[in-house]
Structure 1
Amino acid sequence: MTSRPDVVAFDVNETLLDLAPVAAALVEHGQPEGLLPTVFARTLHTGTAATVAGLRVPFRAAFESALAQLTDLSERDRGRVADSFLELSPHPDVEPALRRLAEAGVRVVTLSHGSPGVAEAGLERGGITPLVERTLTSETVQAWKPSREAYVWAAGVCGVAPARMALVAAHAWDVHGAERAGLTGAWFPRAERVWAPALPAPSVVAADLAGAVDALLAR
């Protein structure tokens, strides 16, 4: 039997916030267009591998490490590119999706493994801070998603059992991690065109963010 979640958590980078300012910062510092997906993937690989190995690495350190591996940027310029995460804005479909949940009486939080302050700055820039109850980063527990610890910790902070929380993300690995931790997972495409065929299908696969929210509210 399914039921509507009490709390819906949203991934931040790419899912809610557009990474275009980071891509632009790379180009401004002499890097080729289209490099960001490779840098971002290397960042996630570094952070998650470190978590599995028992090493605690902050998001910014993993991102700057990826830049050092993939570019010839100086340490100073790597820091400037990393600073551009504070310039992110929400995708156009984010405000109506969060508002629909708020109007339905469902609590909304964000759950990132990004640097503290990034989600807050982006939500403020988009004028949607009032729609979000709290912003959570797994840096607090020093465990990158998709580790089970990150999702269970978030549910505990929100005062609900994992089964009463959902995670919405545009990354299949994140949604799969949430489902393995007992949350309801909802995936929709942005950079990923389809759900990862190698992984079991989550509770919700939608065509877009609005569809993911509608499916959760209909449970």
Structure 2
Amino acid sequence: MSRLRPEVVAFDVNETLLDLAPVRAALIESGRPGELLRPVFGRTLLIGFAAALTGSWCRFRDAFDDALAQETDLDAPRRSAVADAFGELSPHPDVEPTLRRLAEAGIRVVTLTHGSPGVAEAGLARGGITPLVERTLSSEAIRAWKPAREVYLWAAGSCDVAPERMALVAAHGWDVQGAQRAGLTGAWFSRGEHAYPAVFDAPHVRADDLAGAVDGLLALPA
């Protein structure tokens, strides 16, 4: 099936749009190496995915706290301080011009995360780009985690658009895979992940950076 230019582009939040540097800094302040963020973040996803797959559910913050408890010996107050740093995230430098380009092209922009409500809003406001985003969506509202199919279909329904006219841009291959399996157009770019998983369906759009991912979407036929 050939893809069409999307009417709505949804962006993943953590890492894709917002820099996790404050969380890394909070780990260092707690006396732990900043490099620990990647395994903690990976374990957070594992906990959340497993909970959802087995028919239960947990909040992103609770999964992150459990991951910290498993990967470190931090006590509860220090783990909470690290988690609070998600509220201090800011957009990567390439985000504002990329979102502005979509807005100027008449394409609606939303964010889609399974992260804690308020994180995307605070980060967008800190970067001064709130006006470029129509709405922020967290799948906590439906007690689900990406890459479950229901999350992407819920997002499309919330935006009153057919799944095939919605795209997801993410720096995470598993997120793009989930979106494409739900009927959305997927756009993956490299930010932290150096390669797209070969076991997944090939992304509809593959790029070296965020701007390139959006360029690929804009190049699709209307």
Q: Distance in 2 between matches of 1:2 and 1:176?
A: 15
Shift of 1:3: 1.6
1:121 is matched with 122
User: Matched residues in 2 for 1:61 and 1:111: separation?
Assistant: 19
Query: In structure 2, how many angstroms separate the alpha carbons of the residues matched to 1:10 and 1:169?
Result: 6
1:169 maps to 2:170: yes
Distance 2:39 2:125 in 1: 28
**Is the Cα–Cα contact under 8 Å of residues 3 and 185 in structure 2 kept in the other structure?**
no
Partners of 1:166 and 1:2 in 2: how far apart?
10
For 1:37 and 1:2, the matched residues in 2 are separated by 33
TM-score by structure 1 length? 0.99
* Deviation of the 1:200 alpha carbon: 1.6
Aligned to 2:103: 102
> Which residue in the other structure is 2:140 paired with?
139
Which portions of structure 1, spanning 4 or more consecutive aligned residues, are displaced by more than 4 angstroms?
Answer: none
SS of alignment partner, residue 35 of structure 2: coil
Provide the C-alpha distance between the structure 1 equivalents of 2:149 and 2:188, rounded to a whole number of angstroms.
18
Q: Tell me what 1:37 maps to.
A: 38
- Indicate the residue corresponding to 2:180 in structure 1: 179
Question: Cα distance, 1:33 vs. partner?
Answer: 2.8
**What is the CA RMSD across the aligned residues, in angstroms?**
0.6
- Which residue is equivalent to 2:8? 7
Separation in 1 of the partners of 2:184 and 2:4?
Answer: 12
Other-structure match for 2:212: 211
Tell me the amino acid that sits aligned with residue 52 of structure 1. L
Q: Distance in 1 between matches of 2:198 and 2:205?
A: 14
Q: Secondary structure of 1:196's partner? A: coil
Show CA shifts across 1:190-217 (max 9, x none).
1100111121211100111101101101
Matched residues in 2 for 1:22 and 1:33: separation?
Answer: 8
1:84 aligns with 2:85: yes
CA shift for structure 1 position 127: 0.4
1:7-47 CA-to-partner distances (Å, cap 9, x unmatched) read 00000000000000000000100112300000000000100
Kept after mapping to 1: 8 A contact 2:190/2:209: yes
- Flag structure 2 segments of 5+ consecutive residues without an equivalent: none
Q: Deviations over 1:146-184 (max 9, x none)?
A: 000100000000001111100000000000000000000
SS of 1:156 mapped into structure 2: helix
Partners in 1 of 2:6 and 2:92 — Cα distance? 23
1:68-89 Cα distance to aligned partner (Å, 9 max, x none) = 1111111111111100000000
Taking the aligned partners of 2:3 and 2:133, their CA distance within structure 1 comes to 24
3-state SS in 2 of match to 1:34: helix
Measured in 2, the distance between the counterparts of 1:156 and 1:65 equals 32
TM-score (norm 2): 0.97
Partner amino acid, structure 2, of 1:179: Q
Q: 2:65 aligns to what? A: 64
Structure 2 equivalent of residue 17 of structure 1: 18
